[in-house]
Amino acid sequence: SHVEAWKVIVAGPDEFVLVLEDDAWFKPGAKAAIDHGWRAALDRSAGKGGPRLLYLSYSDAGGTALRTDTCKHLFRPVRGLWHLSGYVLSRQGAASLLRSMPVVGPVDLWMNYRFGEVEALALTSPAIGQRHDAMSDNAYSVMPYLARAGIVDGRHGAKPPVAAASGPLLAWTAGAERESLAMGLSMLGLRVRAFDGNEEPLDGRELSDALGTFDALVDPPLVPAALADAIASERALILLETSARVPEGLKLDQLPPSHYAILGSGDNNDAWWEAICRLLSIGKPAEPFPAGARREIRMFRDGRLPSLRYRSGREVPASWPMDDSPWVLPPACRWRPTQWQDSTAKRGRRVIAEASLTHPSTSFPGITETFPGNMAAFAPENIEFGDEGLRVTVNAAERGLRPFRSGALASFHSFTYGRFQVEIRPAAGPGLITGFFLHRGAPRQEIDIEFAGSNPRRMLINVYFNPGDEGAAMAYGYRGSPCWVDLGFDATEGFHEYVIDWRDDRLAWIVDGEVVHERASWDPTPIPHLSMRLHANLWVPRSHELAGRINERTLPASARFRKLVVAD
């Protein structure tokens, strides 16, 4: 909200802050208009510490807005501006607005009566527009793009959806080609295990064990006694698609109406959200109900070894904090990385992309951006191709919003599953991270290999998973349980081959032909299922716990990459 933004400005360290609503977009020529307007505003407020409030985005109420003190780039508004979705506000301006509280009526109309108090200015013509093709519901946002460009920085991720307090939930579907119900429940923040229906029926103990780990079971095969015990629980909830095969012994007329819901085959997606969220007593998300992943992918299956599924009491490694988020096994399960003894170094069958990295490649171009948490901005001049492959260099920045400058590559195309292989010689030194990873947004999913220059004898691996169809704005934080893998050598002393082998049911990390770590579905996250771009970079984390504190006297520092191959 605008009011919360004003509070942050007053409490925060910055003298000026850009405030944008989630549906703002930049008009052609916005950069020049904002630059000229800001310079004119500084001239007008010389001796006052700068402008208190400068509107970059607004709508003139039918062309009737009162304007005074007009020049080529600015005017002083008196009344008649609304849709105030983008502005620069000073600490003084924010304090003045807070002193004028409470807000009466819509914020933008209330602010019309504050223009004089905050000495408001506005661009002669708005440089930022507001979407008019949909209601603002926070389902889309310009902020991630500003973060990638280094204009703003997100230091705290948004909170995940609130998981249902009731439960457990047992659901049965019609067995469609796409598993929309399992995906929809996952988007609500539930840990979901899905079944194929041909498994051995769960008895009472096995059902209890499964519900100790998962919030919802979709299409679970149950022995009649286990089902009877489950529906006898005062907390159990039942969800059925109309064409689902009803399990033997399930009689809905014996359940309270608040304990079950039926999803009609002819209902629209919004009706499904309504029914499910009413049953779970949680708010309906902004995202449309998902089509879901193809059933053949077998999303949300428990792919862990049977002996590891419900084992407890194991010591959690102290090398990295665990992630207590909805799509990760809860800390009570005491998950820890497990080496799968029967693994082999899988080989791709067909090369689909490759680059020696001795010269520029249109398949893997350099990128100019950054991301929250990175103190370096990526620039083309910080990557160099040569006989030993790609050299990415980080150095101190002479100007810009980030104190350091570095380089990065990203594949032009996205990939869904495959074998991703490269030779890397990471950068040495504290405060540096060399990365090789797959990544996507909306929803955010990622598979990582990273090297911390402060301890180059180990490799950090991780998986980020958020549910949803392509385009779903599910990116609530860091999903996954990162862990360190001891390499047995100093990675910065020479090139070694590193591989991410990504299959629909399993992930393997391979070093010099040997599998060093492997995860299956729900060990401890689902396996990412949507296409991702391949990245290679060198960056400077804000977190000193991750890689130590950077020593600028050791810069410039470089990481090298060569012989990049993508196979199916």
CA distances from 332 to 162, 192, 317, 323 (A): 19, 17, 14, 12
- Please tell me the predicted confidence (pLDDT) of residue 286: 79
Question: Is pLDDT at 533 greater than 90 in this prediction?
Answer: yes
- Look at 474 and 554; give whichever has higher pLDDT: 554
- Please tell me the predicted confidence (pLDDT) of residue 104: 79
- Please tell me the predicted confidence (pLDDT) of residue 514: 94
Closest Cα to residue 420, out of 344, 359, 507, 483?
Answer: 507
pTM over 0.85: no
Mean pLDDT along residues 132-156: 61
- Please tell me the predicted confidence (pLDDT) of residue 552: 93
Identify whether the C-beta of residue 465 lies closer than 8 Å to the C-beta of residue 479.
yes
DSSP track, 445-477: EEEEEEEETT-TTEEEEEEE---SSTT-----S
Tell me the average pLDDT of the chain: 86
Among 300-309, 325-334, 431-440, the minimum mean pLDDT is found in 325-334
Question: Is pLDDT at 492 greater than 50 in this prediction?
Answer: yes
Question: Is pLDDT at 267 greater than 90 in this prediction?
Answer: no
**For the ranges 16-30, 320-334, 362-376, 404-418, the one whose mean pLDDT is highest:** 404-418
Q: How many CB atoms lie within 10 A of CB 260?
A: 17
Mean pLDDT along residues 455-465: 93
| Crossing angle between the packed helical segments 91-99 and 2-11, to the nearest 10 degrees | 120
In degrees, rounded to 5, the angle at the alpha carbon of residue 179 between the alpha carbons of residues 139 and 220 is 125
Mean pLDDT along residues 231-257: 88
Note if the bond before 556 is cis, omega within 30 degrees.
yes
Note if the bond before 168 is cis, omega within 30 degrees.
yes
- Please tell me the predicted confidence (pLDDT) of residue 457: 96
- Please tell me the predicted confidence (pLDDT) of residue 5: 67
Q: At 305, is the pLDDT very low, low, confident or very high (cuts 50, 70, 90)?
A: confident
Mean pLDDT along residues 265-281: 87
What are the tokens at 505?
A: 């049911």
- Look at 62 and 409; give whichever has higher pLDDT: 409
Question: Is pLDDT at 317 greater than 90 in this prediction?
Answer: no
Q: What is the 3-state secondary structure (H, E, C) of 90-159?
A: EHHHHHHHHHCCCCCCCHHHHHHCCCCCCCCEEECCCCEEECCCCCCCCCCCCHHHHHHHCCCCCCCCCC
**For the ranges 80-94, 383-397, 460-474, the one whose mean pLDDT is highest:** 383-397
- Please tell me the predicted confidence (pLDDT) of residue 334: 65
Mean pLDDT along residues 277-282: 90
Q: At 507, is the pLDDT very low, low, confident or very high (cuts 50, 70, 90)?
A: very high
Mean pLDDT along residues 459-477: 86
How far is Cα of residue 388 from the mean position of the Cα atoms in its chain? 34
The string of pLDDT tens digits covering residues 159-194 is 555 555 567 899 999 999 999 999 999 998 888 999
Mean pLDDT along residues 306-326: 50
| Crossing angle between the packed helical segments 224-232 and 204-213, to the nearest 10 degrees | 50
Q: At 316, is the pLDDT very low, low, confident or very high (cuts 50, 70, 90)?
A: very low
Question: Is pLDDT at 343 greater than 60 in this prediction?
Answer: no
- Please tell me the predicted confidence (pLDDT) of residue 144: 66
**For the ranges 189-203, 245-259, 463-477, the one whose mean pLDDT is highest:** 189-203
- Please tell me the predicted confidence (pLDDT) of residue 270: 84
Question: Is pLDDT at 76 greater than 90 in this prediction?
Answer: yes
Per DSSP, what are the bridge partners of residue 171? 218, 239
> What is the amino acid identity at position 290?
P
- Please tell me the predicted confidence (pLDDT) of residue 255: 87
Among 74-88, 335-349, 535-549, the minimum mean pLDDT is found in 335-349
- Look at 159 and 449; give whichever has higher pLDDT: 449
- Please tell me the predicted confidence (pLDDT) of residue 543: 85
- Please tell me the predicted confidence (pLDDT) of residue 139: 52
- Look at 79 and 159; give whichever has higher pLDDT: 79
- Residue 506: its H or E element: strand 506-511
Residue 129 CB partners (closer than 8 Å, separation 6+): 24, 25, 26, 27, 57
Mean pLDDT along residues 337-349: 59
Question: Is pLDDT at 314 greater than 60 in this prediction?
Answer: no
Q: At 556, is the pLDDT very low, low, confident or very high (cuts 50, 70, 90)?
A: very high
- Please tell me the predicted confidence (pLDDT) of residue 349: 75
- Please tell me the predicted confidence (pLDDT) of residue 156: 46
- Please tell me the predicted confidence (pLDDT) of residue 318: 41
